[in-house]
Amino acid sequence: MMELAIPLLAATVQSGTPILYATLGEIITEKSGVLNLGVEGIMIVGALTGFVVAKISGNPALAFFAAGLAGLAASSIHGFVCLIFQGNQVVSGLALTILGTGFANYLGTSMVGQSAPGFSPMALPYLSQIPFFGPVFFQQDPLVYVTYLLPPLIWLYFFSTSHGLNLRAVGENPAAAKAAGLSVILYRWTGILAGGFLMGLGGAYLSLAYTHLWTNSMTAGRGWIAVALVIFAFWRPGRAVFGAYLFGGIMSLQLRLQASGIPLPSSLLLMLPYLLTIAVLVFSSWKKGRSEAPAALGVNMKPTD
Amino acid sequence: MRVIKILLIAALAVGFCTTASAKEMKVGFVYVSPIGDAGWSYAHDVGRQAVEELEGVTTSYVEAVPEGPDAERVIQNMARKDFDLIFATSFGYMDPMLKVAKQFPEAVFMHCSGFKTAENMGNYFGRMYQARYLSGMVAGAMTKSNIIGYAAAFPIPEVIRGINAFTLGARAVNEEATVRVVWTKTWYDPATEKEAAKSLLDVGADVIAQHQDSPGPQEAAQEKGVYSIGYNSDMSAFAPKAHLTAPVWNWGPYYTKVVNEVKNGTWESESVWPGMETGIVDLAPFGSMVPKEIQEMVLAKKAEIVAGQAKVFVGPVLDQQGNVKIAEGSVADDQSLLGMTWFVEGVTGTTE
Amino acid sequence: MLRLTITKRQEPLGWSSCLVVFGAVALSLFFSALLLGLRGTPPLEGLIVLFQGAFGSRWAIEDCLIKTIPIFLCSLGVAIAFRLQIWNIGAEGQFCLGAVGATWVALSFPSLPFWLMLPLMIAMATFAGGMWGLIPAVLRQKMRTNEIIVSLMMNYIAILILDYLVYGVWKDPTSFGFPMTQEFSDGAIVGKIGSTSVNWGLFHCIALAVIFWVFLRFTKLGYELKASGDSVRAARYAGIPYDRLVFLVMVLSGALAGWAGFLEASATINRLQPSIMVGYGYTAIVVAWLASLNPLYIGIASFLLAGLRVGVENLQLDLQVPAAFGGIMEGLVLLTVLAGGFFIHYRFELRGAKR
């Protein structure tokens, strides 16, 4: 049993990582009061950018960073449309997904079937020797190790720095924040851009580490799962980790169930991640009486308020 | 008088131009997925590029065309734009193509992997399963754990047939070999395909084969330090230490032949299913890790198949439950091959 | 020192909001042309090929009309939901289930005459689509879950259900194992209008549009829906409690998408197969936003977006532009219209600062 559990859990960590990046990004954005449904589009732009830069420069770390910048740039569209032009946040995000996916596939069509230099698993000394936890957590590629650092850093940001506290205030009650002298629009820009950066990184994980390939529509719906996971995580970074790994686990599990010869029709097994998403949403809403969401989420602050 | 001269020259020029362009033959290709998928459509497009090289021929293509009415419209558009020859490369294009063929009797229509024909419509396919058999032999010879993993996209007959041929080949060389199948339900999602390969590696497979269009599974095998068999094209660039060989398509020569037949007016409608002897399917070069004796054994078998002396689906062949599907000594006919929906003994997996 | 300020208009732009939409579309065409140039395709030629492919001949217009039908029906449903700020992203899945429901009738009772068969198929399709729309609605009202995610997840589940059926029990025995059902019997196929290639579904659309217009104009609920604007938290509309209204709207939304699914399966493909899913449900979102709750505008926008799809194929054929280009244009149109909407309520002003 142990021999099967360890590879499954190691695969879970890998498969949950891109989702985790995106979820953490969306948490930051939503905490500032902005709903960004363009995650899927932003992720895939990040995936393509990372791939192309890695191919051209031969430097995966540079490519990873570039992907983050691309995600930042893509999310800025959402910022312009919503923060400046008062566009409806829901529809703007959807439009960004459509645009981002189309854009990445358009430019990426000629890159399909090629490979680029990327990251490979790098076992950490000492830590990877720990029984059970070692092989699962510490024999991964460097980008996974980055995600181990992110949740505590984000938590610190939100709860211990004044900038983070202000950002949360902007998301809860923008009118009061403005009255207290905070620039709502500036904090929301921060939320959007920082979130977009992380989402781009999440996409790049797919084309730089998870595989070293690119194909059209590579993100395959992971961005949407990230949006759902934000709700599941009650907008908390720590819980986001749990959610992302849970999803990664389900995605890996259904393949492994097939591999071990379980005769369930694969269509049904493939439904598991989506059914689970709905289940976690129901569970999250049911568990907490009141909503944990930032109170002003999704509502634009009018420029003449 | 001058006006008439100018008009005459103009008319001649136009006439010359039209005759000049009439010499240019227009060949169209309809693909079901993006050509960059490094897989099925990519292989067809390589064939198209061979045709493009021909004198007096121009080609064009439309990719990622869903089967059904969109396909009908695309084929119709090509016909309306005076394309002389159109290739449609997916089973689901059959009915749409037939409808259009009836409307445009002057053009020639070629459908891949189907069975309906008309006076100006033929169909063609390739006996990929022969190459699969050979690649299975290599896998069977190289596996030590006797578990071979197979990442496959969708349970359609062509995929099932390939798995069966592969398994028969593996077991012909190694009685203990078994093949485990995982369905990814996607043609091109490298992440999922790689994950599928990993799940097979985790249950002990030490050779990974695929009926997928991306090299994802190859990467997984290389990372784990085991062997792999590619598909559609030579995938050794993605996994140089793992890639043993691959069953590959080689549509160029066949497409060139058809184009020339249409050009010369010798084309006739038929249903053809050529095999290795025409070069339409082949085995990619062996990786250096394949021992000489195995290479020679497989090449010898290939020669037998090419010469028509050996068949792949020859009895006795049992299915997973132990029933006799192909009786001893008899050869499965094309119809049963085309509609194959059961796995042979030695395959672990469902056909759903 | 000059400052750029934003002031609210005394009165929102009325008819000139049409100008805003046109301006936005023009802007997105401009950006799309730029992108074409980026890849080496001559932009102007590309746009011409696009337009010619979409509207340049009788067949092209017919092809557009054929595609307009499912887009229109899905958009109608999505528009109703959006009006109440219920974000129905599930039109794709509701369309799918509608096709599945209609297929069930066609396969189970193949020998029925068309006047029994077709209404039965429509009934089943709208029921299935409606139920698929009801689920996210119930979860939204009873469990306070986000309908965006739920309806989106159900899109994926619906497609997997379709896959499961056509690979399994509904597979055509003569299809050599390929995933498709048998071809529908004649009674189950909605026919073409005269000698055109457009099917009678067009009339279904017109009829439904008229019914919808009558509903909006002459019923209390319709009037309140149209006039509601941004304030949706009213406890009741026309005396109907909000909960029940949400259910009604989502069932209606799903039923319309389901009707579209029935028409695609019956008239266009004559069977059920996975390639019936081409993303009409997502295009519907773009149309619904562009056209708000006006059936005529929905029709026009549907036709234009159908034209985009048809034209993009031409771009592929003539200029080898990748198929994803259509998605770029759709996304750009929506974003520019969203941004343009700003100018209906606000305007920028350059003010000299008083020091």
pLDDT in tens, chain A (305 residues): 566 788 889 889 999 999 999 999 999 999 999 999 999 999 999 999 999 999 999 999 999 999 999 999 999 999 999 998 888 898 899 999 999 999 998 888 878 778 888 888 888 888 888 888 888 888 888 999 999 999 999 999 999 999 999 999 999 998 899 899 889 999 999 999 999 999 999 999 999 999 888 888 888 888 998 998 898 888 999 999 999 998 888 888 888 888 887 777 777 877 888 888 888 888 887 776 556 778 788 788 776 65
Question: What is the C-alpha separation between A231 and A15, in angstroms, rounded?
Answer: 20
DSSP run (H or E) holding A195: helix A184-205
Binding partners of B (≥3 Cβ pairs within 8 A):
A, C
What Rg, from alpha-carbon coordinates, does chain C have? 22
DSSP run (H or E) holding B68: none
Q: Which chain B residues are within 8 Å of C66, Cβ to Cβ?
A: 69
Residue C318 touches partner B, C-beta closer than 8 Å:
yes
Mutate: best of A266, A268, A271, A272, partner B, most B CBs <10 A: A266
User: From chain B, which residues contact A within 8 Å (Cβ)?
Assistant: 34-39, 42, 149, 180-186, 188-192, 194-196, 198-200, 202-203, 214-216, 219, 223, 237-238, 348-350, 352
Residue A116 maps to a domain: yes
pLDDT of residue A221: 83
Q: Which chain A residues are within 8 Å of B184, Cβ to Cβ?
A: 255
Residue A59 maps to a domain: yes
DSSP run (H or E) holding C142: helix C114-143
Residue A299 maps to a domain: no
The per-residue pLDDT for range C141-151, each reduced to its tens digit, is 888 888 888 99
For the ranges B102-111, B227-236, C83-92, C340-349, the maximum mean pLDDT occurs at: B102-111
Please name the member of C168, C178, C276 whose beta carbon is closest to the beta carbon of B156: C178
**How would you classify the pairing of strands B317-318 and B324-326?**
antiparallel
Whether the per-residue pLDDT at B9 is higher than 70: the answer is: no
Binding partners of C (≥3 Cβ pairs within 8 A):
A, B
Question: What is the C-alpha separation between A72 and A70, in angstroms, rounded?
Answer: 5
Q: Which chain A residue shows the shortest CA-CA distance from B238?
A: A115
Please name the member of A15, A115, A214 whose beta carbon is closest to the beta carbon of B195: A15
Question: What is the C-alpha separation between A47 and B190, in angstroms, rounded?
Answer: 13
- Residue with structure tokens 């895939």? A44
Q: Which chain A residue shows the shortest CA-CA distance from B150?
A: A259
Minimal C-alpha gap between C301 and chain B (Å)? 20
Residue A128 maps to a domain: no
Reduced to 3 states (helix: H, G, I; strand: E, B; else coil), residue C224 is helix
Question: What is the C-alpha separation between C201 and B256, in angstroms, rounded?
Answer: 43
The per-residue pLDDT for range B276-319, each reduced to its tens digit, is 988 899 999 999 999 999 999 999 999 999 998 888 898 889 98
Q: What is the tally of structural domains in chain C? A: 1
User: What are the backbone angles phi and psi of residue C7, rounded to the nearest 5°?
Assistant: -120, 150
Within 10 A of A143 (CB to CB), how many other CB atoms are there?
23
Q: In what order do the strands lie in the sheet with B178-183?
A: B243-245, B227-229, B207-211, B147-152, B178-183, B347-348
B40: left (phi over 0), alpha (psi -120 to 50) or beta: alpha
Mutate: best of A213, A216, A264, partner B, most B CBs <10 A: A213
User: What are the backbone angles phi and psi of residue B228, rounded to the nearest 5°?
Assistant: -150, 160
Reduced to 3 states (helix: H, G, I; strand: E, B; else coil), residue C308 is helix
pLDDT of residue B315: 81
Tallying the residues shown for chain A, one arrives at 305
Residue C50: CB partners within 8 Å, gap ≥ 6? C308, C311, C312, C314, C315
Angle formed at CA A17 by CA A297 and CA A265, multiple of 5 degrees: 100
Owning domain of residue A78? 2-120+141-290
Residue range B45-68: average pLDDT?
A: 90
Question: What is the C-alpha separation between B280 and B253, in angstroms, rounded?
Answer: 7
Residue C20 maps to a domain: no
Q: Which chain A residue shows the shortest CA-CA distance from B220?
A: A211
Peptide bond into B316 cis (omega under 30): yes
Both tokens assigned to C196: 């055109």
Residue C110 maps to a domain: yes
- Is there a contact between C313 and B76 if contact means CB atoms under 8 Å apart? no
Residue C239 maps to a domain: yes
User: What are the backbone angles phi and psi of residue C248, rounded to the nearest 5°?
Assistant: -60, -45
Residue C233: CB partners within 8 Å, gap ≥ 6? none
Q: Within chain A, how many helices (H) and strands (E) appear?
A: 12, 0
Please name the member of A11, A218, A255 whose beta carbon is closest to the beta carbon of B190: A218
Q: Which chain C residues are within 8 Å of A288, Cβ to Cβ?
A: none
Please name the member of A88, A104, A228 whose beta carbon is closest to the beta carbon of C149: A228
Whether the per-residue pLDDT at B264 is higher than 80: the answer is: yes
Residue ranges of E strands in chain C? 2-8, 236-237, 240-241, 346-352
Residue B257: CB partners within 8 Å, gap ≥ 6? none
Q: Which of A153-157, B5-9, B132-136, C255-259 is the least confident region? A: B5-9
pLDDT of residue C342: 82
Residue A300 maps to a domain: no
Whether the per-residue pLDDT at B14 is higher than 60: the answer is: no
pLDDT of residue A48: 95
Q: Which chain C residues are within 8 Å of A219, Cβ to Cβ?
A: none
Q: Which of A163-177, B4-18, B122-136 is the least confident region? A: B4-18
Check: CB of residue C50 under 8 Å from CB of residue C28.
no
Tallying the residues shown for chain C, one arrives at 355
Closest CA to A2 of A94, A109, A121, A135: A135
Residue C234 maps to a domain: yes
pLDDT of residue C229: 57
Peptide bond into C295 cis (omega under 30): no
Both tokens assigned to B30: 């309809």
The per-residue pLDDT for range A133-158, each reduced to its tens digit, is 888 888 888 999 999 999 999 999 99
Whether the per-residue pLDDT at B21 is higher than 60: the answer is: no
* CATH number assigned to the domain comprising residue A237: 1.10.3470
For the ranges B27-36, B227-236, C73-82, C213-222, the maximum mean pLDDT occurs at: C73-82
Residue A275 touches partner C, C-beta closer than 8 Å:
yes
Residues 147-176 of A with CB under 8 A from C: none
Give DSSP secondary structure letters for B245-281. Answer: E-EEE-HHHHHHHHHHHHHHT-----EE---GGGTSE
Residue C189 maps to a domain: yes
Residue A271 maps to a domain: yes
Residue A281 maps to a domain: yes
Q: What is the tally of structural domains in chain A? A: 1
Residue A33 maps to a domain: yes
Q: Which chain A residues are within 8 Å of B203, Cβ to Cβ?
A: 4, 256, 259-260
pLDDT of residue C233: 56
Identify the burial level of B328 via C-beta atoms within 10 angstroms of its C-beta, where 0-12 means exposed, 13-18 middle and 19 or more buried.
exposed
Check: CB of residue A42 under 8 Å from CB of residue A71.
yes
Reported as a pLDDT band with limits 50, 70 and 90, residue B17 is: very low
pLDDT of residue C237: 67
Model confidence, pTM:
0.86
Residues 162-221 of C with CB under 8 A from B: 163, 167-168, 176-180
Minimal C-alpha gap between B151 and chain A (Å)? 9
Question: What is the C-alpha separation between C329 and C151, in angstroms, rounded?
Answer: 24
Check: CB of residue C113 under 8 Å from CB of residue C136.
no
